Structure formats: structure tokens, C-alpha cells
């Protein structure tokens, strides 16, 4: 459903993405791995139109390059940024409400679903979002995007800086929403969760895809792991 071909992106003069090719099928969980600074987040932003994409990004046959981010979101793409970006000054509940694309929610997911997925959010419903812990903010950010009823969700480093127990919860959450029909493009640096839940993985290095395969194939390929992943 998502097809990225020869995608380039620039920050000013620096050429960050140098021809990325990848695709995500319906119902798939796909991970995008790589070291710091290779351009994984930039790939996410270019797909969402937050960084001008050069090349082709097609979603269900529709060309996304050149569209506004809100138009892209309304086609059914969801994005959870690596820095979570919860809205300060608004409560947990208000953050979730803003995830809905219109006042009258008619998506598959309701705020009650979010509270069920993460009971912690219900306890914090009326707390200003900026005082939530890192883990709670991550849960909120993911659920907020879910409220917009995406068919495909791009989640950028959801486990960064979280305690192992919360990392487990995030993993279970991703599996749960995948089971309910949401495709996932997961950006990760740690292999643990990514290898366990995804059907396919991409490894990125210097603005290009350098490996594509199943988690098992990556496990078997010590050379790729050594050259592009291990620090």
C-alpha cells in the first residue's frame, strides 16, 4: 500500500536521503533500522510531507509527493514522531481529541479504546500532557495518532529512553493494533522488539537502504549487522 521509490530529501544543501526504495504491504509490520543520523526520521518526515520529498511516494496508488501533510494524513497515514510532541497546556484527553480529524469521531478507535490499551492514560486523563512521564507521553502520542483512524502508522523510535517494562508494553500495543488491521512502519535502533514483531526489515545506511529481508535473514547476516547496525 505504501511504495517509496528513489526518494531524496535535503536540509538546505545537505543531501540526506539519497534514493530510498521501500514498500509496506497491507497488514504488514515493517521495521526500518539503522544507526543514529542515517536518515530514518527524515524518511518518515518526507513520507508525511513535513520535509519536501523529491522522488515518488505512492500510497494506495496516489502520489503523495507535493501534497500537504494534512492531506496526506487524511488519506490514511498516521505519524508518531520520535520526540512525541504532546501538546503542552492541553490535557491528555484534549490531546487525544485533537488526534481525531473532525469533532465527530467516526473512526474505529475511541478514547475509551485508548484508555483500555493503556489504563495509565485514563488515570492521567485530566493531567496537562507536559507533566506526563516519558513513557506516558509515548503512549499518548501513539494513541493520539490512532484516534485519526490511520490505515498505516509510521512510528519513529517509540522505545527510545524507556524502561524495559514500558518497552514491552509498546511492543504489545503495536502487535495489538496490527491485529486490528493497521499496517506499521516502525523505526527502531534497538533490534529486540523490531526483530520480534516485524515481518520484514530494512536497514538504512547513509541515506540509502542497504539491506532488505526477514528478521531471520538479518539474524543470519552477521556482515550487515556488523557494518550497519552494531556500534
Binding stretches for Mg ion (CB under 5 A): 41, 82
Are 200 and 214 in contact, with CB atoms under 8 Å apart? yes
Separation between Cα atoms, residue 28 and residue 152, nearest integer Å: 9
Residue 98: contacted member of Mg ion, ligand ATP, another protein, none (CB under 5 to 8 Å, by partner type): another protein
Q: How many helices (H) and strands (E) does the chain have?
A: 10, 10
Ranges of H-type helices in 49-179: 69-74, 92-99, 111-117, 119-123, 134-147, 164-179
Separation between Cα atoms, residue 83 and residue 187, nearest integer Å: 13
Q: Where do we find the cell 485519526?
A: 148
Query: Any idea what DSSP says for residue 189?
Result: S
Task: For strands 77-80 and 62-63, give the pairing.
Answer: unpaired
Under rule CB under 6 A, which residues in 41-60 are in contact with ligand ATP?
41-42
CB of 138 to ligand ATP, least distance (A): 15
Residue 37: contacted member of another protein, Mg ion, ligand ATP, none (CB under 5 to 8 Å, by partner type): ligand ATP
Rule CB under 6 A: is residue 92 a binding residue for ligand ATP?
no
Query: Whose Cβ is closer to ligand ATP: residue 76's or residue 158's?
Result: 158
| Chosen residue from 7, 16, 152, 218 binding ligand ATP by CB under 6 A | 16
Rule CB under 6 A: is residue 168 a binding residue for ligand ATP?
no
CB of 46 to ligand ATP, least distance (A): 9
Residue 73: contacted member of Mg ion, another protein, ligand ATP, none (CB under 5 to 8 Å, by partner type): another protein
Query: Whose Cβ is closer to another protein: residue 4's or residue 77's?
Result: 77
Amino acid at each position: 500500500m505504501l511504495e517509496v521509490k528513489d526518494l531524496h530529501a535535503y536540509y538546505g544543501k545537505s543531501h540526506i536521503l539519497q534514493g530510498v526504495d521501500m514498500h509496506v504491504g497491507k497488514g504488514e509490520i515493517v521495521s526500518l533500522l539503522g544507526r543514529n543520523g542515517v536518515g530514518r526520521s527524515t524518511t518518515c518526515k518526507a513520507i508525511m510531507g513535513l520535509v519536501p520529498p523529491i522522488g515518488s511516494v505512492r500510497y494506495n496508488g496516489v502520489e503523495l509527493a507535493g501534497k500537504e501533510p494534512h492531506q496526506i494524513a487524511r488519506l490514511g497515514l498516521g505519524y508518531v514522531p520520535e520526540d512525541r510532541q504532546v501538546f503542552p497546556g492541553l490535557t491528555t484527553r484534549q490531546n487525544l481529541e485533537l488526534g481525531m480529524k473532525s469533532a465527530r469521531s467516526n473512526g474505529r478507535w475511541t478514547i475509551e479504546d485508548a484508555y483500555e490499551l493503556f489504563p495509565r492514560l485514563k488515570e492521567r486523563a485530566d493531567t496537562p500532557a507536559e507533566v506526563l512521564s516519558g513513557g506516558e507521553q509515548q503512549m499518548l502520542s501513539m494513541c493520539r495518532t490512532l484516534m485519526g483512524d490511520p490505515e498505516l502508522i509510521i512510528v519513529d523510535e517509540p522505545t527510545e529512553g524507556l524502561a524495559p517494562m514500558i518497552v514491552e508494553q509498546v511492543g504489545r500495543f503495536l502487535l495489538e493494533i496490527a491485529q486490528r488491521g493497521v499496517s506499521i512502519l516502525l523505526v527502531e535502533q534497538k533490534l529486540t522488539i523490531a526483530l520480534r514483531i516485524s515481518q520484514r526489515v530494512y536497514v538504512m545506511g547513509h541515506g540509502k537502504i542497504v539491506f532488505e529481508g526477514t528478521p531471520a535473514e538479518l539474524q543470519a547476516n552477521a556482515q550487515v549487522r556488523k557494518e550497519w547496525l552494531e556500534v
